[in-house]
Amino acid sequence: MKRIVYIALFYCGCLLTPSCVGDLDQFPHTETTSENIYNSIESYYQVLAKIYTAMVTTGQEQNGSEDLSSNKGFDYMRCYFNLQEVGTDEVAYTWLSGETLTDISNLSWDATDVWVSDMYYRIYYNIALCNEFLRHTTDDAIAAFSGEEQATLRTYRAETRFLRALFYYHALDFFHNIPFVTENDPVGSYIPPRYTARQIFEFIESELTAITGTEAEGGLLNRDECPYGRASQGAAYALLARMYLNAETYIGETRYTECVTACNRVIEQGYTLEQDYAKLFNADNDKRTNEIIFTLPVDATTTVSWGASTYVVCAAVPTSMAQNSVGVASGWGSMRMRGAASAQFGNDPRGMFITEGQTQEVTDMTDESEGYVVTKWSNVTDAGETASNTAQSGVNTDYPLFRLADVYLMYAEATARGGQGGSMDQAYQYVNALRNRVGAEEIPNWEAMTNDGCIFFLAERLRELYWEGTRRTDLIRFNRFTTNTYLWEWKGGTQAGTGVDDRYNIYPIPSTELTANPNLYNENY
């Protein structure tokens, strides 16, 4: 069963409570946790489950007991998807005003934006959960347990360090220069220092290296040993690869050789491509552990979420469609794809769209008939059955964060950009392996991938990874997010599209946080 870690959440109770639940003008931290929580392996496991599920749920119950009082009240991954996708060419959003997404869509937000604020506090709430767990897994803290139990707890500790590194990476990618706090800092009224993007980059790098290195006692498990839904060594290497690929954005230096090395480490774990692309995003995608490296389980019974994959599946279905091929009881009618993006698919079968009755170009964002309908994500099993009643409990489709296909593309792009440790022949084979599995036309030669600053990879990543939460980061890496170099409908708030100030490559730290922490400031807002 795919719900191994997450079922434990429901026996966990409210183990960790943020002091700032009702007051977002404070830096999130956790109150001192009662010592009787950490008195058995089972209780540690339950807290670990809480940290994992904090990415896909809002709290202990779907309609109550929220971890944070926030502006929109949605989970981590719904915030993440909106900040990574809604402002790009991949999403045309219908209910911009009602969902307060107009400024995100138009690339015109400021430090008071509600989605930016919610993402920021979700990230730091999750970091606080990690820090609290790490305070209780030091050698001294676990000394009373047996040797075997200590080994298990050290593995839990390594997973928590990975999750904290992932949260810090998201903070780095969105905000760059950010507050930094670890388990070694005081709990309570402590005001964290401002760390530069380079300092955060180096911290993440050191953490991921430590929990995957051969010298690490109780480091992350390898792929074959790691239970479903938990972080393995492959996940850590995939996160390193993504950070290295975008290093120039963060620290002004390229790290393509390091990216190739990290990709090779993932590939050495023995992952293989799933031959049916669509099955990576259906309700049985927990069976795709051959390709999916790290995923967030979502379940209509045990891990209900109105964000994460439920959001992506249901929001793509027009309100005019009743029960349908993607297993949604009633569509939300929120999202389609803008024409500038869908036009780049041509005859590529990865473009899983409903085009009948839809225009490709979007002239009116509020018109559900404009922009192709995306059917890539579904709530349908391999047998073609609807997995759950989405009107009552969301989908049964898990949310993949890292896939082998992404690693292949990172390897190829980093090699094409001069990274050492790989070969262009291998890069060529990896890219064509992705195209061959769906029957798309092969790339004729590897030189075709290196023209015009390797721009080929921006389009290829669109075709392979659309609606998986990478588009904004990719566009920024290619200097296409804010500039006039590439335009799409309603970029910058005009139908024809326009460039915007390059400050929008970085989200601002919320104004409430600037008030609470005098160490912080936004450079361009």
> Cα separation of 41 and 170, whole Å?
30
* Cβ neighbours, 10 Å, residue 465: 18
Residue 32 confidence (pLDDT) above 80: no
> Cα separation of 15 and 33, whole Å?
7
* Cβ neighbours, 10 Å, residue 445: 10
pLDDT band at residue 72 under the 50/70/90 scheme = confident
What is the number of H-type helices and E-type strands within the chain?
19, 10
Query: Can you tell me whether residue 346 is helix, strand or coil?
Result: coil
How much is the average pLDDT of 224-249? 97
pLDDT of residue 165: 98
Top-confidence residue, 23 or 350: 350
Do residues 308 and 75 make contact, with C-beta atoms less than 8 angstroms apart?
yes
Residue 524 confidence (pLDDT) above 70: yes
Cα dihedral 197→198→199→205 (10° resolution): 110
Provide the residue type at 521 as one letter.
Y
pLDDT band at residue 304 under the 50/70/90 scheme = confident
Top-confidence residue, 346 or 21: 346
Q: What is the largest CA-CA distance in the chain?
A: 66
Partnered with residue 292 across adjacent β-strands are: 403
pLDDT band at residue 320 under the 50/70/90 scheme = confident
pLDDT of residue 8: 33
Query: Can you tell me whether residue 303 is helix, strand or coil?
Result: strand
Which helix (H) or strand (E) element contains residue 266?
helix 256-267
pLDDT of residue 60: 63
> Cα separation of 465 and 344, whole Å?
13
Which alpha helices (DSSP H) does 38-191 contain, by range? 41-53, 76-81, 102-106, 114-135, 147-175
How much is the average pLDDT of 184-190? 89
pLDDT of residue 322: 60
Residue 449 is classified by DSSP as G
What percentage of residues in the chain have a pLDDT greater than 70?
Answer: 90
pLDDT digits (tens, 9 = 90+) for 334-386: 999 999 999 999 999 999 999 999 999 999 999 999 999 999 999 999 999 99
> Cα separation of 283 and 5, whole Å?
18
Top-confidence residue, 68 or 252: 252
Residue 209, CA atoms < 13 Å, CB-side half-sphere: 10
Q: 24-38, 256-270, 313-327: which range is least confident on average?
A: 24-38
pLDDT of residue 448: 87
pLDDT of residue 155: 96
pLDDT band at residue 36 under the 50/70/90 scheme = low
Provide the whole-model pTM.
0.93
- What DSSP assignment string belongs to 148-203? HHHHHHHHHHHHHHHHHHHHHHHHHHHHSSEE---TTSPSSS--PPEEPHHHHHHH
Which helix (H) or strand (E) element contains residue 456?
helix 456-465
pLDDT of residue 393: 85
pLDDT of residue 283: 97
pLDDT digits (tens, 9 = 90+) for 43-67: 999 999 999 999 999 886 555 567 8
Provide the residue type at 297 as one letter.
P
Residue 101 confidence (pLDDT) above 90: yes
Instruction: Give the sign of the dihedral formed by CA 288, CA 293, CA 299, CA 304.
Output: negative
pLDDT of residue 22: 30
Which helix (H) or strand (E) element contains residue 92?
strand 92-93
Using CB atoms within 10 Å of the CB of residue 9, give its burial: 0 to 12 exposed, 13 to 18 middle, 19+ buried: buried
Using the structure block, give the residue that is written with the tokens 């089972």: 42
pLDDT band at residue 14 under the 50/70/90 scheme = very low
> Cα separation of 231 and 277, whole Å?
23
Which residues make Cβ contacts (< 8 Å) with residue 180, sequence separation at least 6? 192, 193, 194, 195, 199, 200, 203
pLDDT of residue 35: 64
Taking CA atoms, 3 is separated from 132, 309, 490, in Å, by 24, 15, 40
Average pLDDT of the chain, as a whole number: 91
pLDDT digits (tens, 9 = 90+) for 247-276: 999 999 999 999 999 999 999 999 999 999
pLDDT digits (tens, 9 = 90+) for 403-456: 999 999 999 999 999 999 999 999 999 999 999 999 999 999 888 899 889 999
Residue 2 confidence (pLDDT) above 80: no
Using CB atoms within 10 Å of the CB of residue 156, give its burial: 0 to 12 exposed, 13 to 18 middle, 19+ buried: buried
Which residues make Cβ contacts (< 8 Å) with residue 278, sequence separation at least 6? 352, 376, 378
